[in-house]
A = this chain, B = another copy of it.
Amino acid sequence: MKHFFIAIIILIALSSFDSVKTAKITDPLVNKTDSIVVKNLFNSGLNSGKSYQWLDYLSNNIGGRLSGSLQAQQAVEWGEKLMQDLNFDKVWLQPVMVPHWVRGEKEIAYFTVNKIKYDVAICALGGSVATPKNGVSGEVIEVNSLEEAEALGEKLRGKIVFFNRPFDDTLIETFKAYGGCVDQRGAGAKVTGKFGVLGVIVRSMTNSIDNFPHTGAMGYGDIPENEKVPAAAISTVAANLLSEKLKENPTLKFYFKQSCETLPDAPSFNVIGEITGSKYPDKYISVGGHLDSWDLGDGAHDDGAGIVQSIEVLRLFKLNGIKPKHTIRAVLFMNEENGLRGGRKYAEEAKNNNEIHMAALESDSGGFTPRGFSFDATGKNSELIKSWKSLLAPYGLHDIDKGHTGADIGPLKSETITLVGYRPDSQRYFDYHHAATDTFDKVNKRELELGAASMASLIYLLDNYLE
């Protein structure tokens, strides 16, 4: 009850002071009980955390789990059983139909200059069509943007378009560099298909200069079937080499072959576990990540980390005897990578069932050391979250700002909900993102556990103060 009154006082105070005055009254908000609970969540999360061993199993015993695959189904069963074994109050599967794209045989690509053949590392982009059975071969036109490609228009006919705009390494947040490049991957084929190109190859979305192609979703929008051309990612090492060789030999021929295809939609599930609220059982706060991953690595950072952290949040609540006021749900979303069907289905069902979602937290930026949280909330709740800064700072959580929260929770957006994204350090994320290098050995145990404890602390505070 004490927390309830404090929250009321705070909310009144926050709504009637200007920002400067608010800053002065924020410290009393962080009361001693909160400070102790947060410390206990971190202590137990670091002394007896389970997320790392769960992630080991998910990554190494199940592995990459693209929507519609056998591994995705195994991950569903694993998540359901794990949460049942943890004795959550309720655990269930929420059916959802998902796209079912398969990569097929390993892709092949090379180009030849002065009789020297350069094999290059590529992979089909998710959602792409295959090349003809014997592959495609053609001259290459290198461009740096969708606009540049469109401007070339008919000059692209019969060519392979090579999108090669690199990450801007000067951006401290690597997600911003990603955001500045990923249109090439998403829409490169869509905007050039109408010019009769043979195919599209896209520089991998990474800061790293490595020999791993990084896959990811692409789309054709509503263009005619006959304009859909194959699209592949090329490693940054190969992209640099190709670009260099093109300067010397603009008419060199590039060959690639891929046999991917889109099968009919497949049945799958979101996996949901909950601790029923003690005061508001019909009001919900969710914490989640996505259970599907790309197929090249084992999806440890993207997003196995978010999955095990979300389940760990509920385990830490039980372990510490925290009886939440609201119902707290761990939601393992299916199909974030190539469809977002799970996120949409969850929001749709929430609406159908008249569930009141107070807040949703997503972890989908890797299992790295904590930096903070991004949020999207009403003015009142924004101030509330900001008031926790001094409480969270000792745990490395300094970046508490408005910003992007999470793809899966996006469909829950309403005028009242508080959406939050867990924001770990971003420096290494795109080294592994969507590549064969996204594997369990890239995850540090303490970093993963600190993330889970950070998320548990935020869910505790949201549960305690949201009204």
Q: Is the CB of B178 within 8 A of A47?
A: no
Residues of B within 8 A of A182 (CB): 3-4, 7
- Interface-side segment among A63-71, A147-155, A392-400: A392-400
Residue from B3, B10, B172 in contact with A219 in the complex, judged by beta carbons closer than 8 Å: B3
Tell me if A216 is interfacial: C-beta within 8 Å of chain B.
yes
Contact A172 B450 (CB under 8 A): yes
Please state the number of chain copies in the assembly. 2
Query: Are the CB atoms of A427 and B444 closer together than 8 Å?
Result: yes
Closest to A1 in B: B219
On chain B, the residues within 8 Å of A394 by CB distance are 172
In the complex the two chains form, is B10's CB within 8 Å of A179's CB? yes
Complex interface: chain B residues within 8 A of A192 (CB):
none
Q: How far is the CA of A185 from the CA of B10 in the complex (A)?
A: 15
Nearest CB of chain B from residue A386's CB, rounded to whole Å: 14
Which single member of B1, B207, B374, B404 contacts A186 (CB below 8 Å)?
A: B1
Q: Which of A13-21, A89-97, A303-311, A323-331 contacts B (4 or more CB under 8 A)?
A: A13-21
Q: How far does the alpha carbon of A137 sit from the alpha carbon of B275 in the complex, in Å?
A: 55
Q: Is A346 an interface residue (CB 8 A)?
A: no
Q: Does A244 sit at the interface, judged by CB under 8 A? A: no
Asked whether B401 lies within 8 Å of A16 as measured between CB atoms, the reply is yes
Of B2, B207, B371, B447, the residue contacting A446 (CB under 8 A) is: B207
Whether A46 contacts B2 in the complex (CB less than 8 A), given A404-B9, A404-B10, comes out as: no
With a cutoff of 8 Å between Cβ atoms, the chain B residues found around residue A404 in the complex are 9-10, 13-14
In the assembled complex, how far is the CB of residue A294 from the closest CB belonging to chain B, in whole angstroms? 13
CB <8 Å contact, A4 and B175: no
A183: which B residues are within 8 A, CB to CB?
4, 7-8
CB-defined contacts of A11 to chain B, threshold 8 Å: 176, 179-180
Cβ 8 A contact of A208, one of B7, B175, B445: B445
Are the CB atoms of B16 and A172 closer together than 8 Å?
A: no
Question: Within 8 Å of chain B (Cβ to Cβ): is A128?
Answer: no
Give the docked Cα–Cα distance between A123 and B372 (Å): 39
Q: Which of B10, B175, B398, B403 sits near A398, CB closer than 8 Å?
A: B398
Take A393-B398, A404-B9 as given contacts and tell me if A221 and B1 are in contact as well, using a CB distance cutoff of 8 Å: yes
A407 B6 Cβ-Cβ under 8 A: yes
| Contact flags A161-194 to B (C-beta < 8 A → 1, else 0) | 0000000011011111011101101110010000
Task: Specify which chain B residues have a CB less than 8 angstroms from the CB of A318 in the assembled complex.
Answer: none
Cβ contacts under 8 Å, A445 to chain B = 208
Q: How far, in Å, is A67 (CB) from chain B's closest CB?
A: 14
Q: Is the CB of A340 within 8 A of B2?
A: yes
Closest Cβ of chain B: how far from A40's Cβ, in Å?
A: 10
A431 at the interface (CB under 8 A from B): yes
Binary contact readout A351-372 vs B (1 if CB under 8 angstroms, 0 otherwise): 0000000000000000001010
Inter-chain CA distance A46–B167, complex, in Å, is 11
A217 at the interface (CB under 8 A from B): yes
CA distance A15 to B450 in the complex (A): 27
Are A431 and B444 within 8 A (Cβ)?
A: yes
Q: A183-B4, A428-B447 are in contact. Are A172 and B395 (CB under 8 A)?
A: yes
**CB-contacts of A436-450 with B (<8 A):** 444-447, 450
- The residue in chain B whose Cβ has the minimal distance to the Cβ of A190 is B1
Residue numbers of A with Cβ under 8 A of B are: 1-4, 6-11, 13-19, 42-43, 46-47, 169-170, 172-176, 178-180, 182-183, 185-187, 190, 207-208, 216-219, 221, 339-340, 369, 371, 374, 393-396, 398-399, 401-404, 407, 425, 427-428, 431, 444-447, 450
Q: List 9 A-B contacts (CB under 8 A).
A: A4-B187, A11-B180, A14-B173, A42-B170, A43-B170, A169-B446, A172-B394, A427-B444, A427-B447
Additional 20 contacts, C-beta under 8 A, given A14-B403, A17-B176, A393-B398: A1-B186, A2-B217, A3-B219, A4-B182, A4-B219, A9-B404, A10-B178, A10-B179, A13-B403, A14-B179, A15-B176, A16-B402, A17-B173, A19-B172, A47-B169, A174-B446, A207-B446, A396-B425, A427-B444, A427-B450
